[in-house]
Amino acid sequence: MKIFSYMEEYDYEQLVFCQDENSGLKAIIAIHDTTLGPALGGTRMWTYANEEEAIEDALRLAKGMTYKNAAAGLNLGGGKTVIIGDPKKDKNPELFRAFGRYIQSLNGRYITAEDVGTTVDDMDLIHLETDFVTGTSDSGSSGNPSPVTAYGVYKGIKAAAKEAFGDDSLEGKTIAVQGVGNVAYALCEYLHKEGAKLVVTDINKKAVQRAVDNFGAKAVDPDDIYDVDCDIYSPCALGATINDDTIARLKAKVIAGSANNQLKEAKHGDILFEKGIVYAPDYVINSAGVINVADELQGYDRQRALRKVEKIYDSLQRIFDISRRDNIPSYIAADKMAEERIASVQKSRSQFLLHEHHVLSRR
Protein backbone atom coordinates (compact mmCIF):
# COMPACT_ATOMS: atom_id res chain seq x y z
CA MET A 1 0.00 0.00 0.00
CA LYS A 2 1.06 3.60 -0.59
CA ILE A 3 1.10 4.67 3.05
CA PHE A 4 1.32 8.45 2.61
CA SER A 5 -1.39 8.44 -0.07
CA TYR A 6 -3.68 6.47 2.24
CA MET A 7 -2.92 8.71 5.23
CA GLU A 8 -3.56 11.82 3.12
CA GLU A 9 -6.86 10.47 1.75
CA TYR A 10 -8.28 9.72 5.21
CA ASP A 11 -6.44 12.53 7.03
CA TYR A 12 -4.24 10.54 9.43
CA GLU A 13 -1.75 12.45 11.54
CA GLN A 14 0.94 9.94 12.41
CA LEU A 15 2.11 6.35 12.02
CA VAL A 16 4.81 5.15 14.43
CA PHE A 17 6.81 1.95 13.92
CA CYS A 18 8.26 0.49 17.13
CA GLN A 19 10.99 -2.17 17.10
CA ASP A 20 13.00 -3.71 19.91
CA GLU A 21 15.35 -6.55 18.97
CA ASN A 22 15.95 -7.73 22.56
CA SER A 23 12.26 -8.38 23.34
CA GLY A 24 11.01 -9.08 19.81
CA LEU A 25 8.68 -6.07 19.84
CA LYS A 26 7.21 -5.15 16.47
CA ALA A 27 4.41 -2.63 16.98
CA ILE A 28 2.59 -0.01 14.93
CA ILE A 29 0.91 2.99 16.59
CA ALA A 30 -1.59 4.79 14.36
CA ILE A 31 -2.82 8.25 15.39
CA HIS A 32 -5.76 9.33 13.27
CA ASP A 33 -6.96 12.63 14.76
CA THR A 34 -6.21 14.66 17.90
CA THR A 35 -8.57 17.59 17.29
CA LEU A 36 -10.66 16.80 20.37
CA GLY A 37 -7.73 15.75 22.56
CA PRO A 38 -5.04 13.05 22.92
CA ALA A 39 -5.64 9.90 20.86
CA LEU A 40 -7.07 7.08 23.00
CA GLY A 41 -7.21 3.52 21.71
CA GLY A 42 -6.28 0.03 22.82
CA THR A 43 -3.28 -2.18 22.06
CA ARG A 44 -4.14 -5.28 20.04
CA MET A 45 -1.75 -8.25 19.77
CA TRP A 46 -2.41 -10.48 16.78
CA THR A 47 -0.74 -12.94 14.39
CA TYR A 48 -1.00 -10.94 11.19
CA ALA A 49 -0.27 -12.66 7.88
CA ASN A 50 2.12 -9.86 6.90
CA GLU A 51 3.22 -6.36 7.85
CA GLU A 52 0.88 -4.64 5.39
CA GLU A 53 -2.14 -6.36 6.98
CA ALA A 54 -0.99 -5.12 10.40
CA ILE A 55 -0.58 -1.53 9.14
CA GLU A 56 -4.04 -1.58 7.53
CA ASP A 57 -5.62 -2.90 10.73
CA ALA A 58 -3.92 -0.23 12.87
CA LEU A 59 -5.05 2.53 10.53
CA ARG A 60 -8.63 1.23 10.25
CA LEU A 61 -9.00 0.78 14.02
CA ALA A 62 -7.50 4.21 14.80
CA LYS A 63 -10.01 5.96 12.55
CA GLY A 64 -12.80 3.96 14.19
CA MET A 65 -11.67 5.24 17.60
CA THR A 66 -11.80 8.87 16.39
CA TYR A 67 -15.47 8.42 15.54
CA LYS A 68 -16.23 6.39 18.66
CA ASN A 69 -14.64 8.91 21.03
CA ALA A 70 -16.22 11.87 19.24
CA ALA A 71 -19.70 10.31 19.21
CA ALA A 72 -19.33 9.42 22.89
CA GLY A 73 -18.76 13.11 23.70
CA LEU A 74 -15.23 12.51 24.94
CA ASN A 75 -12.50 15.14 24.63
CA LEU A 76 -10.25 12.54 23.06
CA GLY A 77 -9.02 11.73 19.58
CA GLY A 78 -8.54 8.35 17.97
CA GLY A 79 -5.55 6.05 17.90
CA LYS A 80 -4.71 2.34 18.01
CA THR A 81 -1.74 0.04 18.37
CA VAL A 82 -1.18 -3.39 16.89
CA ILE A 83 1.63 -5.62 18.12
CA ILE A 84 2.61 -8.31 15.65
CA GLY A 85 2.86 -11.62 17.49
CA ASP A 86 1.03 -14.54 19.03
CA PRO A 87 -0.43 -13.42 22.39
CA LYS A 88 -0.21 -17.01 23.63
CA LYS A 89 3.50 -17.47 22.84
CA ASP A 90 5.29 -14.20 22.14
CA LYS A 91 4.62 -12.13 25.25
CA ASN A 92 7.37 -11.20 27.69
CA PRO A 93 7.75 -8.36 30.23
CA GLU A 94 10.53 -6.70 28.25
CA LEU A 95 8.28 -6.41 25.18
CA PHE A 96 5.58 -4.42 26.98
CA ARG A 97 8.11 -2.30 28.84
CA ALA A 98 9.84 -1.45 25.54
CA PHE A 99 6.44 -0.56 24.10
CA GLY A 100 5.73 1.62 27.14
CA ARG A 101 8.87 3.62 26.41
CA TYR A 102 7.66 4.27 22.86
CA ILE A 103 4.32 5.53 24.22
CA GLN A 104 6.17 7.77 26.67
CA SER A 105 8.20 9.25 23.81
CA LEU A 106 4.95 10.56 22.25
CA ASN A 107 4.53 12.89 25.28
CA GLY A 108 0.81 12.27 25.78
CA ARG A 109 -0.32 12.39 22.14
CA TYR A 110 -1.43 8.75 22.51
CA ILE A 111 -2.95 6.91 25.48
CA THR A 112 -3.37 3.14 25.33
CA ALA A 113 -5.62 0.52 26.93
CA GLU A 114 -6.42 -3.18 26.83
CA ASP A 115 -7.68 -4.75 23.59
CA VAL A 116 -7.82 -8.11 21.81
CA GLY A 117 -4.84 -10.20 22.87
CA THR A 118 -3.74 -7.97 25.75
CA THR A 119 -4.60 -8.00 29.46
CA VAL A 120 -4.54 -5.95 32.64
CA ASP A 121 -1.15 -7.53 33.46
CA ASP A 122 0.21 -6.27 30.13
CA MET A 123 -1.08 -2.76 30.90
CA ASP A 124 0.68 -2.93 34.28
CA LEU A 125 3.98 -3.64 32.50
CA ILE A 126 3.42 -0.71 30.13
CA HIS A 127 2.62 1.43 33.18
CA LEU A 128 6.13 0.82 34.55
CA GLU A 129 7.41 3.04 31.73
CA THR A 130 4.59 5.54 31.16
CA ASP A 131 1.50 7.07 32.74
CA PHE A 132 -0.23 7.25 29.36
CA VAL A 133 -2.05 3.94 29.87
CA THR A 134 -5.45 3.03 31.31
CA GLY A 135 -7.02 -0.21 32.55
CA THR A 136 -4.21 -1.12 34.96
CA SER A 137 -4.67 -2.96 38.25
CA ASP A 138 -3.98 0.20 40.29
CA SER A 139 -6.58 1.23 42.86
CA GLY A 140 -7.43 4.18 40.59
CA SER A 141 -8.32 1.84 37.71
CA SER A 142 -11.83 1.34 36.34
CA GLY A 143 -11.56 -2.45 36.67
CA ASN A 144 -13.70 -4.97 34.76
CA PRO A 145 -15.42 -3.02 31.94
CA SER A 146 -18.15 -5.61 31.19
CA PRO A 147 -20.85 -4.42 33.66
CA VAL A 148 -20.41 -0.78 32.60
CA THR A 149 -20.46 -1.67 28.89
CA ALA A 150 -23.65 -3.67 29.49
CA TYR A 151 -25.26 -0.68 31.24
CA GLY A 152 -24.50 1.52 28.23
CA VAL A 153 -25.97 -1.04 25.81
CA TYR A 154 -29.07 -1.29 28.01
CA LYS A 155 -29.52 2.50 27.88
CA GLY A 156 -28.97 2.37 24.11
CA ILE A 157 -31.63 -0.31 23.65
CA LYS A 158 -34.08 1.89 25.53
CA ALA A 159 -33.29 4.85 23.24
CA ALA A 160 -33.78 2.68 20.14
CA ALA A 161 -37.03 1.29 21.57
CA LYS A 162 -38.33 4.82 22.06
CA GLU A 163 -37.57 5.61 18.42
CA ALA A 164 -39.29 2.45 17.17
CA PHE A 165 -42.24 2.08 19.56
CA GLY A 166 -42.86 5.59 20.89
CA ASP A 167 -41.71 4.93 24.46
CA ASP A 168 -38.61 3.39 25.97
CA SER A 169 -40.21 0.78 28.25
CA LEU A 170 -38.90 -2.73 27.62
CA GLU A 171 -41.51 -4.43 29.79
CA GLY A 172 -43.15 -7.23 27.84
CA LYS A 173 -40.83 -6.76 24.84
CA THR A 174 -39.28 -9.92 23.39
CA ILE A 175 -35.54 -9.43 22.97
CA ALA A 176 -33.37 -11.96 21.10
CA VAL A 177 -29.83 -11.80 22.48
CA GLN A 178 -27.10 -13.37 20.36
CA GLY A 179 -24.21 -14.36 22.63
CA VAL A 180 -24.25 -14.59 26.42
CA GLY A 181 -20.68 -13.62 27.29
CA ASN A 182 -19.67 -11.28 30.11
CA VAL A 183 -21.23 -8.12 28.63
CA ALA A 184 -24.35 -9.84 27.29
CA TYR A 185 -25.02 -11.70 30.55
CA ALA A 186 -24.92 -8.43 32.50
CA LEU A 187 -27.15 -6.89 29.80
CA CYS A 188 -29.66 -9.73 30.18
CA GLU A 189 -29.84 -8.97 33.90
CA TYR A 190 -30.85 -5.35 33.18
CA LEU A 191 -33.39 -6.46 30.57
CA HIS A 192 -34.86 -9.12 32.86
CA LYS A 193 -35.25 -6.66 35.72
CA GLU A 194 -37.29 -4.40 33.44
CA GLY A 195 -39.62 -7.24 32.52
CA ALA A 196 -38.38 -8.11 29.02
CA LYS A 197 -38.84 -11.63 27.64
CA LEU A 198 -35.47 -13.03 26.66
CA VAL A 199 -34.51 -15.46 23.91
CA VAL A 200 -30.80 -16.34 24.00
CA THR A 201 -28.21 -18.29 22.09
CA ASP A 202 -24.48 -18.98 22.36
CA ILE A 203 -22.08 -21.70 21.31
CA ASN A 204 -21.24 -21.98 25.02
CA LYS A 205 -24.05 -24.15 26.40
CA LYS A 206 -23.18 -23.34 30.04
CA ALA A 207 -23.57 -19.62 29.38
CA VAL A 208 -26.97 -20.24 27.80
CA GLN A 209 -28.13 -22.41 30.70
CA ARG A 210 -27.09 -19.74 33.18
CA ALA A 211 -29.34 -17.20 31.43
CA VAL A 212 -32.19 -19.75 31.30
CA ASP A 213 -31.87 -20.54 35.01
CA ASN A 214 -31.45 -16.95 36.26
CA PHE A 215 -33.60 -14.93 33.87
CA GLY A 216 -36.18 -17.42 32.59
CA ALA A 217 -34.73 -17.02 29.10
CA LYS A 218 -35.75 -19.29 26.24
CA ALA A 219 -32.79 -20.97 24.54
CA VAL A 220 -32.49 -21.51 20.76
CA ASP A 221 -29.75 -22.92 18.53
CA PRO A 222 -27.23 -20.37 17.22
CA ASP A 223 -28.57 -20.25 13.67
CA ASP A 224 -32.21 -20.02 14.81
CA ILE A 225 -31.78 -16.69 16.60
CA TYR A 226 -32.42 -14.83 13.32
CA ASP A 227 -35.86 -16.40 12.93
CA VAL A 228 -37.15 -15.58 16.43
CA ASP A 229 -40.41 -13.62 16.54
CA CYS A 230 -39.09 -10.68 18.56
CA ASP A 231 -39.29 -6.91 18.99
CA ILE A 232 -35.55 -6.33 19.38
CA TYR A 233 -32.56 -8.25 18.05
CA SER A 234 -29.44 -7.68 20.15
CA PRO A 235 -26.20 -8.93 18.53
CA CYS A 236 -23.65 -9.35 21.33
CA ALA A 237 -21.18 -11.84 19.87
CA LEU A 238 -19.63 -11.87 16.40
CA GLY A 239 -19.52 -9.04 13.89
CA ALA A 240 -21.16 -9.02 10.44
CA THR A 241 -24.34 -10.77 11.61
CA ILE A 242 -26.40 -8.17 9.73
CA ASN A 243 -26.00 -9.43 6.17
CA ASP A 244 -27.88 -10.49 3.03
CA ASP A 245 -28.94 -13.80 4.58
CA THR A 246 -30.01 -12.61 8.02
CA ILE A 247 -31.82 -9.36 7.15
CA ALA A 248 -34.42 -11.32 5.21
CA ARG A 249 -35.04 -13.52 8.26
CA LEU A 250 -35.12 -10.92 11.05
CA LYS A 251 -38.56 -9.95 12.38
CA ALA A 252 -37.34 -7.31 14.86
CA LYS A 253 -38.17 -3.60 14.60
CA VAL A 254 -34.94 -2.72 16.47
CA ILE A 255 -31.33 -3.90 16.17
CA ALA A 256 -29.25 -2.85 19.17
CA GLY A 257 -26.41 -4.81 20.75
CA SER A 258 -22.82 -4.77 21.99
CA ALA A 259 -21.04 -6.53 19.09
CA ASN A 260 -18.50 -4.64 16.98
CA ASN A 261 -18.88 -4.23 13.20
CA GLN A 262 -22.45 -5.54 13.15
CA LEU A 263 -23.10 -4.56 9.52
CA LYS A 264 -21.29 -6.86 7.13
CA GLU A 265 -21.22 -4.04 4.57
CA ALA A 266 -22.43 -0.44 4.55
CA LYS A 267 -25.24 -1.40 2.15
CA HIS A 268 -26.81 -3.48 4.93
CA GLY A 269 -27.30 -0.30 6.96
CA ASP A 270 -29.06 1.18 3.92
CA ILE A 271 -31.34 -1.87 3.67
CA LEU A 272 -32.31 -1.62 7.36
CA PHE A 273 -33.20 2.05 6.83
CA GLU A 274 -35.32 1.23 3.79
CA LYS A 275 -37.14 -1.48 5.76
CA GLY A 276 -37.86 0.92 8.63
CA ILE A 277 -35.79 -1.06 11.15
CA VAL A 278 -34.21 1.13 13.86
CA TYR A 279 -30.47 0.36 14.01
CA ALA A 280 -28.34 1.64 16.91
CA PRO A 281 -24.86 2.12 15.37
CA ASP A 282 -22.50 -0.29 17.13
CA TYR A 283 -19.66 2.09 17.92
CA VAL A 284 -22.09 4.40 19.71
CA ILE A 285 -24.16 1.91 21.70
CA ASN A 286 -21.09 -0.07 22.85
CA SER A 287 -18.98 2.99 23.74
CA ALA A 288 -19.41 2.67 27.52
CA GLY A 289 -16.15 0.71 27.73
CA VAL A 290 -14.10 3.58 26.36
CA ILE A 291 -16.14 6.16 28.33
CA ASN A 292 -15.42 4.18 31.51
CA VAL A 293 -11.70 3.80 30.89
CA ALA A 294 -11.36 7.46 29.81
CA ASP A 295 -12.67 8.51 33.23
CA GLU A 296 -9.41 7.18 34.71
CA LEU A 297 -7.66 10.17 33.17
CA GLN A 298 -9.42 12.37 35.76
CA GLY A 299 -8.91 9.92 38.66
CA TYR A 300 -11.54 7.22 38.37
CA ASP A 301 -14.98 7.89 39.87
CA ARG A 302 -17.45 5.11 39.08
CA GLN A 303 -20.60 7.18 39.64
CA ARG A 304 -19.27 9.96 37.40
CA ALA A 305 -18.40 7.37 34.74
CA LEU A 306 -21.90 5.88 34.89
CA ARG A 307 -23.47 9.32 34.51
CA LYS A 308 -21.42 9.79 31.34
CA VAL A 309 -22.44 6.33 30.13
CA GLU A 310 -26.11 7.27 30.52
CA LYS A 311 -25.55 9.93 27.84
CA ILE A 312 -25.37 7.12 25.25
CA TYR A 313 -29.17 7.36 25.36
CA ASP A 314 -28.99 11.06 24.37
CA SER A 315 -26.35 10.44 21.69
CA LEU A 316 -28.53 7.83 20.02
CA GLN A 317 -31.56 10.12 20.17
CA ARG A 318 -29.52 12.81 18.36
CA ILE A 319 -28.46 10.24 15.75
CA PHE A 320 -32.05 9.16 15.15
CA ASP A 321 -33.03 12.85 14.88
CA ILE A 322 -30.32 13.45 12.25
CA SER A 323 -31.41 10.27 10.43
CA ARG A 324 -35.00 11.55 10.21
CA ARG A 325 -33.98 15.15 9.49
CA ASP A 326 -31.66 14.32 6.61
CA ASN A 327 -33.40 11.10 5.52
CA ILE A 328 -30.19 9.08 5.90
CA PRO A 329 -29.47 5.70 7.57
CA SER A 330 -28.48 5.87 11.25
CA TYR A 331 -24.94 4.57 10.63
CA ILE A 332 -24.31 7.56 8.35
CA ALA A 333 -26.02 9.88 10.84
CA ALA A 334 -23.64 8.64 13.57
CA ASP A 335 -20.60 9.47 11.42
CA LYS A 336 -22.13 12.87 10.63
CA MET A 337 -22.64 13.64 14.32
CA ALA A 338 -19.01 12.75 15.11
CA GLU A 339 -17.69 14.72 12.11
CA GLU A 340 -19.77 17.78 13.03
CA ARG A 341 -18.34 17.75 16.55
CA ILE A 342 -14.74 17.54 15.28
CA ALA A 343 -15.37 20.23 12.63
CA SER A 344 -16.87 22.54 15.26
CA VAL A 345 -13.75 22.30 17.43
CA GLN A 346 -11.47 22.73 14.39
CA LYS A 347 -13.38 25.86 13.39
CA SER A 348 -13.22 27.45 16.86
CA ARG A 349 -9.53 26.62 17.11
CA SER A 350 -8.71 28.07 13.71
CA GLN A 351 -10.64 31.25 14.54
CA PHE A 352 -8.66 31.60 17.76
CA LEU A 353 -5.35 31.13 15.91
CA LEU A 354 -6.46 33.63 13.27
CA HIS A 355 -7.27 36.18 15.98
CA GLU A 356 -3.94 35.51 17.71
CA HIS A 357 -2.08 35.96 14.41
CA HIS A 358 -3.98 39.21 13.78
CA VAL A 359 -3.04 40.58 17.22
CA LEU A 360 0.63 39.66 16.79
CA SER A 361 0.78 41.16 13.30
CA ARG A 362 -0.41 44.52 14.65
CA ARG A 363 2.40 44.75 17.21
Name the CA dihedral angle for 96, 99, 105, 107, rounded to a multiple of 10 degrees.
-70
pLDDT at 32: 98
pLDDT at 177: 98
Tell me, yes or no, if the pTM score tops 0.95.
Answer: no
pLDDT at 140: 75
Contact 156, 281 (CB under 8 A): no
**H or E stretch covering 235:** strand 232-235
Residue 248, exposed/middle/buried by CB under 10 A (0-12, 13-18, 19+)? exposed
pLDDT at 142: 81
Angle between helices 302-309 and 146-165 (to 10 degrees): 30
Chain centre to alpha carbon of residue 153: 11
pLDDT at 347: 85
Q: Which residue out of 26, 80, 158, 308 is catalytically annotated?
A: 80
Domain extents in the chain: 3-127, 146-287
What 3-state class would DSSP assign to 315?
Answer: helix
Q: Which of 312, 350, 339, 297 has its CA nearest to residue 38?
A: 297
pLDDT at 145: 81
Q: Which of 91, 326, 59 has its CA nearest to residue 99?
A: 91
Average pLDDT, 10 consecutive residues per value, the chain (363 residues): 94 98 98 98 96 96 96 96 97 98 98 93 97 87 85 98 98 98 96 98 97 98 98 95 97 96 97 98 96 92 95 97 97 96 86 54 55
Distance CA 31, CA 47 (A): 21
DSSP 132-174: -B-S-SSTTS----HHHHHHHHHHHHHHHHHHHHSS---TT-E
Task: Compute the Cα dihedral for 165, 166, 168, 172 and give only its sign.
Answer: negative
Query: Long-range contacts made by residues 238-242, C-beta under 8 angstroms, separation at least 24?
Result: 238/179, 239/264, 240/264, 241/178, 242/268, 242/269, 242/272, 242/279
From 3.40.50.880, 3.30.200.210, 1.20.1090.10, 3.40.50.720, which CATH number describes the 146-287 domain? 3.40.50.720
Q: Which of 50, 53, 59 has its CA nearest to residue 16?
A: 59
* CATH code for the structural domain at 3-127: 3.40.50.10860
Contact 17, 54 (CB under 8 A): no
Exposure b/e, 289-318, CB count within 10 A at least 16 = b? bbbbbbbbbeebeeeebbebbebbbebbeb
- Say whether 146-287 and 3-127 share the same fold: yes
232 contact partners, CB below 8 Å, separation of at least 6: 157, 160, 161, 170, 173, 174, 175, 176, 252, 253, 254, 255, 256
Contact 208, 151 (CB under 8 A): no
80 is an active site residue: yes
